[in-house]
C-alpha cells in the first residue's frame, strides 16, 4: 500500500466535496454505491459527475504508474462514506476488499477523504504483516463464508498474524490519498470519533487483467473509458457480436 501527499489539487478536492455532499443529500443512508446513484434517474447526474471527476483526476495515472496497466473504474464498488461522531453503522472492522471486489485481477483501491482524518476524524487503520503471508492464507481467513461475513475482530487478527503485524494509521489532509490492493487488511480507525468526515473509495481494475467478477456478471457497472458507464466491454462485445 502507498500514501500520496497532495496528489489531488485543492480546487479538484473542492469539486469532489461538493459532489459528495449532493450525493449524500440524496442517498437515504450514510454509505452509498455510485452505481446505486447511477441507476436512480434522479441521482444519475451526480454519479456521472463523480465518474467524470475520476477520469479528470490524477487517480488513473496513480494506477498506471503502480501497475503498468490501463485502469477501469468498478463503478459498482466505488462507495461514498460519511462518518458522523457517535454513529457506528459507517465503521467497518478488519477486512480485505477481495471479499467483495473479488480475489483475481490487478485491482487497486484509492481512498480519498475530503476532510482531515487521523487526528479527530477517523481515517483507515491498516494491519501490515511483518513476515510474508500467503495470499491464500488471507483469502481463506478473511473469507466472506465466515459467519460474520469476513469482518474480523482484534482477536481473529491475533490468531492469523500473531504479534507480527504493524498498525498504520495515516493522518491525511484533503488532497492526500492512500492506495492499496484487494489483499490489504484494514478497518475504520476505531480510536477516533471526535469529528465527522466524508470519503470516497475508487475501486479500479485492469482492462487487461480484470477480476473474474467484472467479466462474468453483466450487471456489474464499470467505466472502462471517459464517458462510458456500463457493463465491462466484453459483455458489450458479446451482445453486438
Ligand atoms: O471508510 C471507511 O471507514 C472504511 C471503508 C472500507 O474499508 C470499506 O468500505 O471497505
Per residue in 104-141, pLDDT (tens digit) is 999 999 999 999 999 999 999 999 999 888 888 888 88
pLDDT for 17 beyond 70: yes
Give the CATH number for residue 217. Answer: 2.60.120.620
Per residue in 20-62, pLDDT (tens digit) is 999 999 876 667 899 999 999 999 999 999 999 999 999 999 9
Per residue in 65-101, pLDDT (tens digit) is 999 999 999 999 999 999 999 998 889 999 999 888 8
Ligand 1 pocket, 107 CB below 6 A?
no
Instruction: Give 92 Cα–ligand 1 centroid separation in angstroms.
Output: 6
Q: State the pTM of this model.
A: 0.94
Per residue in 183-224, pLDDT (tens digit) is 999 999 999 999 999 999 999 999 999 998 777 788 899 999
Ligand 1 pocket, 149 CB below 6 A?
no
Ligand 1 pocket, 127 CB below 6 A?
no
Whose Cα sits closest to atom 2 in ligand 1? 188
Ligand 1 pocket, 97 CB below 6 A?
yes
When divided into structural domains, the chain yields a total of 1
pLDDT for 240 beyond 60: no
Instruction: Give 169 Cα–ligand 1 centroid separation in angstroms.
Output: 13
Q: Give me the domain span that covers residue 106.
A: 2-240
SS (H, E, C) the chain: CEEECCCCCHHHHHHHHHHHHHHHHHCCCCEEEHHHHHHCCCCHHHHHHHHHHHHHCCHHHHHHHHHCCCEEECHHHCEEEEECCCCCCCCCCEECCHHHHCCCCCCEEEEEECCCECCCCCCEEEEEECCCCCHHHHHHHCCCCCCCCCCECHHHHHHHHCCCEEEECCCECECEEEEECCCCEEEECCCCCCCCEEEEEEEEEECCCCCHHHHHCCCCCEECCCCCCECCHHHHHHHHC
Amino acid at each position: 500500500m502507498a500514501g500520496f501527499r497532495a496528489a489531488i489539487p485543492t480546487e479538484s478536492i473542492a469539486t469532489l466535496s461538493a459532489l459528495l455532499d449532493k450525493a449524500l443529500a440524496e442517498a437515504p443512508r450514510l454509505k452509498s454505491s455510485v452505481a446505486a446513484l447511477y441507476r436512480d434517474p434522479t441521482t444519475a447526474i451526480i454519479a456521472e459527475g463523480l465518474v467524470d471527476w475520476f477520469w479528470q483526476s490524477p487517480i488513473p495515472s496513480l494506477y498506471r504508474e503502480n501497475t503498468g496497466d490501463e485502469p477501469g473504474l468498478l463503478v459498482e464498488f466505488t462507495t461514498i462514506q460519511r462518518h458522523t461522531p457517535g454513529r457506528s453503522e459507517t465503521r467497518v472492522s478488519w477486512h480485505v476488499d477481495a471479499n467483495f471486489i473479488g480475489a483475481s485481477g490487478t485491482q487497486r483501491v484509492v481512498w480519498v477523504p475530503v476532510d482531515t482524518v487521523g487526528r479527530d476524524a477517523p481515517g483507515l487503520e491498516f494491519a501490515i504483516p511483518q513476515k510474508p503471508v500467503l495470499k491464500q492464507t488471507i483469502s481463506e481467513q478473511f473469507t466472506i463464508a465466515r459467519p460474520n461475513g469476513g469482518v474480523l475482530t482484534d482477536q481473529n487478527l491475533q490468531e492469523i498474524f500473531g504479534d507480527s503485524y504493524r498498525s498504520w494509521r495515516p493522518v491525511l489532509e484533503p488532497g492526500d490519498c492512500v492506495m492499496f490492493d484487494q489483499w490489504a487488511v484494514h478497518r475504520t480507525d476505531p480510536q477516533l470519533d471526535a469529528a465527522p468526515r466524508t470519503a470516497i473509495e475508487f475501486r479500479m481494475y485492469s482492462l487487461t487483467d480484470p477480476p473474474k467478477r467484472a467479466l462474468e456478471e453483466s450487471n456489474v457497472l464499470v467505466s472502462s473509458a471517459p464517458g462510458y458507464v456500463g457493463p465491462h466491454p466484453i459483455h458489450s462485445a458479446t451482445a453486438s457480436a
